Structure 1
Amino acid sequence: MRYCTLADLQLAIPMATLIQLTNDSATDFNAPAPVLNQAVVDEAVRQAEELVDAYLRGRYLLPLEPVPTVVKDITVNLARHWLYARRPEGNDLPDAVTRTYKSALQMLEAIRDNKLTIGAPTGEATPEPGEMKARTRPRRFSADLLDRY
């Protein structure tokens, strides 16, 4: 299952800008109007999903289904950054793109480090890996007493 769709990307990037970011053909006045290159969009989403999975692997069962909205938003921001960064003339990325990319990476690190949880789809907390604790009654016989037998 995809973590984000073209419709999700269109909420973050206007369609005209998205067409420009995905169109690799040279500017020709006689050429037809540029169209969205779906293969480039798919590659941006794939790379973003792989990065998200790399951070979440070992902590959650992958792929996530249904996709939590926080993961969808992170994936959109990562894909958007990749689309802007792939342009050769795009040396200076927009500040908003850079900020949201860094924020997405920080959120992934927080999820990985168990400081932030995406929870289970049912709203229950996902079991955390690590130490288990149990309550028991106090010992009736000490180790010293048992050693004497």
Structure 2
Amino acid sequence: MRYCALADLQLAIPPQTLIWLSNDDEAATAMNQAVIEESVRQAQELVDAHLRGRYSLPLDPVPSTVKDMTVNLARHWLYARRPEGRDFPEAVTRTYKAALQMLEAIRDARLTLGVPTGQAAPEPGEMKVRARTRHFGSDLLVRY
């Protein structure tokens, strides 16, 4: 399941700009679907990399915050692939950095997605704990 669709990108990027960003030919009149799909795939992989271990992946249903972050990451990737080396629009850079900060906050458990079924995925393997023997038992501690 994709975290964002072409329609979501079309809401964030004007149609002519999306055609320009997805094609290497300046005379192109249609979007290059393969390039757009690659931008969404890379954005989704980045989101999954941050959420792995905290949530069962892929997310279903996709929270709107994840969709918005994926759109912003995909949009940044589309601008970054342009060979002209022009400066990014300030809004693209700002939303990209904000998406990365949100992903880091979710990863570090400072934010939550609010997914009803979003429970931490169990880690594979077993956990072993080692502790030293107690020098003071509860009978001695009760006397204090």
Q: Assess if the C-alpha contact under 8 Å between 1:55 and 1:109 holds in 2.
A: yes
Higher RCO, Cα 8 Å, sep 6+: 2
Question: Aligned residues: percent identity?
Answer: 72
Matches within 5 A, 1:55-134: 55-121=50-116, 126=119
Distance 2:121 2:105 in 1: 14
TM-score, scaled relative to structure 1: 0.78
Alignment CA distance shift 1:115-1:24 (3 Å): same
TM-score, scaled relative to structure 2: 0.80
Amino acid at match of 1:10: Q
Distance 1:24 1:112 in 2: 36
Once the two structures are TM-superposed, the CA of residue 127 in structure 1 deviates from its matched residue by 5.6
Question: Where does residue 39 of structure 2 map in the other structure?
Answer: 44
Where do 5+ consecutive residues of structure 2 fail to align?
123-136
Two-structure CA RMSD over aligned residues (Å): 2.1
Distance 2:55 2:120 in 1: 9
Distance 2:85 2:138 in 1: 71
Q: Assess if the C-alpha contact under 8 Å between 1:85 and 1:91 holds in 2.
A: no
Distance 1:100 1:106 in 2: 10
Question: Where does residue 19 of structure 2 map in the other structure?
Answer: 19
Once the two structures are TM-superposed, the CA of residue 73 in structure 1 deviates from its matched residue by 0.2
The question of 1:9 aligning with 2:4 is answered no
Distance 2:138 2:13 in 1: 68
**Larger gyration radius, structure 1 or structure 2:** 1
Distance 2:85 2:8 in 1: 22
Q: Assess if the C-alpha contact under 8 Å between 1:48 and 1:75 holds in 2.
A: yes
Distance 2:7 2:92 in 1: 18
Once the two structures are TM-superposed, the CA of residue 76 in structure 1 deviates from its matched residue by 0.1
